[in-house]
């Protein structure tokens, strides 16, 4: 593999590539790492490589001419070559990407600097844009070092033990299991007995289990892509049951005050499907209670009839899971009744979140709201769902947060409330496994 790194600070790379596995791989002829000073290719007497952006704005941009000249000077070798730009807005670098890049014969890396590069550098020369994370550095040199080392690990012969990259974290979509070496005991901490047993079948099983456990605890998002068999999936289910996060979330389906299609305040009718489906979603995602806000006496009678059938009547024995879900439903006259009851139970007024199919200023995103709820575990939250053509402005304006709408890639935006509720609860409270 040949690496050509274009940078305004070539001396940056003197240290990272001069020891360890990268140095040994270069000595063996497995890697060739070249740095190219972009300033050398600037044609003015000051060796300028940056300039102010057209249209104004803060900061400077890397000029296109020196970069283009440096790229022209880099001789391509082999059949497969790639030009990479390190940039915060690139595709996030992963273990999977490192494996893919290891198949190339030559990788040329342009280290971004200043406020970025002239856009024409991307348009004319760059094959792939890479970011090593959602943060900003002064330049792309650190990112280039990360890419070179990670990619090189997958080049045959670079690592002394060919099994090492196969056992590393992320190989099977999992973090690596705990490792131990001598001494067997240290300050009361002992090496797990299974690792001393000599039984390689038991050791492999223990390692897989510990990998799953560590991934679940530290990076549960990785489990969605992990290669798991049925036994592994059963173990993940056990972990979920034993490690369920604590949060206090209530939901309320509002039948009044809401709008009709002429934006007049109305009371909407109880819908059997909405209550059944939202109740099941509520139990699935750990909601404390599901309130129906319905002031109409006749509608209340209908709701109570349905609930009685499934909770205490024939339905309870016919479908126990349905009975369990509907047992979480409470009927109240007003939203004020709901907030008062939650305050009495929790000792404080709930933070209210409204949902709507319409966009507005200063809306909160799903990930931010999820982080907020999970970080304030003792604080009660009340998620309000509208019927008809949406919640009345008096409810929207009094809420603490307005959640961004559920949407796809089309302009069609007319999901039934039970579907929207399921999507919202999944985005906020799914364990992502």
For residue 223, give every residue at least 6 positions away whose Cβ sits within 8 Å of its Cβ, in sequence order, or none. Answer: 173, 174, 212, 215, 216, 236, 432, 433
| Annotated catalytic residue 168 | yes
Question: Among the options 113, 153, 280, 418, which is catalytic?
Answer: 153
| Annotated catalytic residue 165 | no
| Annotated catalytic residue 115 | yes
| Annotated catalytic residue 88 | yes
Question: Among the options 50, 51, 88, 219, which is catalytic?
Answer: 88
Question: Among the options 50, 65, 149, 168, which is catalytic?
Answer: 168
Q: CA–CA separation, 31 vs 3, rounded Å?
A: 8
Question: Among the options 37, 95, 115, 426, which is catalytic?
Answer: 115
Q: CA–CA separation, 429 vs 250, rounded Å?
A: 12
Q: Classify residue 62 as exposed, middle or buried by CB count within 10 Å of its CB (0-12, 13-18, 19+).
A: buried
Number of other residues whose CB lies within 10 A of the CB of residue 173: 18
Question: Which of 295, 273, 287, 413 is closest to 353 using CA atoms?
Answer: 287
Q: CA–CA separation, 228 vs 209, rounded Å?
A: 11
Active site residues: 88, 115, 153, 168
């Amino acid at each position: 593999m040949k690496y050509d790194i274009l940078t305004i600070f070539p001396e940056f790379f003197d240290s990272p590539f001069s020891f360890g596995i990268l140095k040994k791989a270069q000595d063996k002829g497995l890697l060739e790492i070249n740095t190219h000073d972009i300033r050398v290719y600037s044609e003015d007497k000051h060796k300028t490589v940056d300039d102010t952006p057209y249209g104004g704005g803060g900061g400077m941009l890397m000029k296109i001419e020196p970069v283009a000249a440096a790229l022209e000077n880099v001789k391509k070798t082999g059949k497969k070559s790639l030009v990479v730009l390190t940039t915060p807005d690139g595709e996030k670098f992963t273990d999977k990407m490192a494996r893919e890049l290891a198949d190339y014969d030559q990788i040329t890396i342009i280290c971004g600097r200043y406020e970025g590069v002239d856009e024409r550098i991307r348009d004319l020369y760059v094959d792939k844009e890479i970011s090593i994370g959602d943060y900003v550095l002064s330049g792309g040199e650190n990112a280039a070092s990360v890419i070179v080392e990670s990619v090189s690990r997958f080049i045959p012969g670079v690592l002394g033990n060919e099994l090492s990259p196969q056992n590393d974290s992320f190989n099977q979509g999992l973090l690596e299991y705990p490792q131990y070496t001598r001494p067997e005991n240290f300050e009361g901490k002992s090496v797990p007995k299974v690792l001393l047993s000599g039984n390689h079948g038991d050791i492999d099983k223990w390692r897989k289990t510990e990998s799953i456990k560590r991934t679940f605890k530290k990076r549960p998002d990785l489990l969605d892509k992990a290669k798991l068999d049925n036994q592994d999936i059963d173990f993940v289910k056990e972990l979920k049951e034993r490690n369920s996060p604590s949060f206090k979330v209530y939901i309320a389906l509002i039948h009044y005050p809401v709008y009709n299609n002429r934006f007049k305040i109305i009371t909407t009718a109880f819908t059997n499907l909405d209550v059944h489906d939202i109740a099941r979603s509520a139990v699935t995602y750990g909601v404390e209670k599901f309130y129906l806000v319905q002031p109409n006496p006749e509608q209340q009678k209908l709701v109570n009839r349905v609930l009685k059938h499934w909770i205490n009547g024939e339905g309870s024995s016919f479908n126990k899971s349905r009975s369990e879900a509907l047992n979480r439903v409470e009927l109240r006259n007003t939203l004020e009744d709901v907030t008062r009851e939650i305050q009495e139970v929790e000792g404080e007024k709930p933070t209210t979140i409204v949902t709507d199919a319409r966009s507005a200023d200063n809306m909160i995103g799903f990930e931010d709201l999820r982080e907020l709820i999970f970080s304030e575990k003792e604080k009660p939250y009340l998620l309000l769902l509208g019927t008809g053509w949406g919640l009345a402005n008096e409810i929207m304006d009094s809420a603490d947060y307005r959640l961004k709408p559920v949407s796809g890639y089309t302009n069609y935006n007319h999901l039934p409330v039970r579907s929207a509720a399921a999507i919202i609860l999944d985005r906020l409270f799914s364990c992502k496994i």
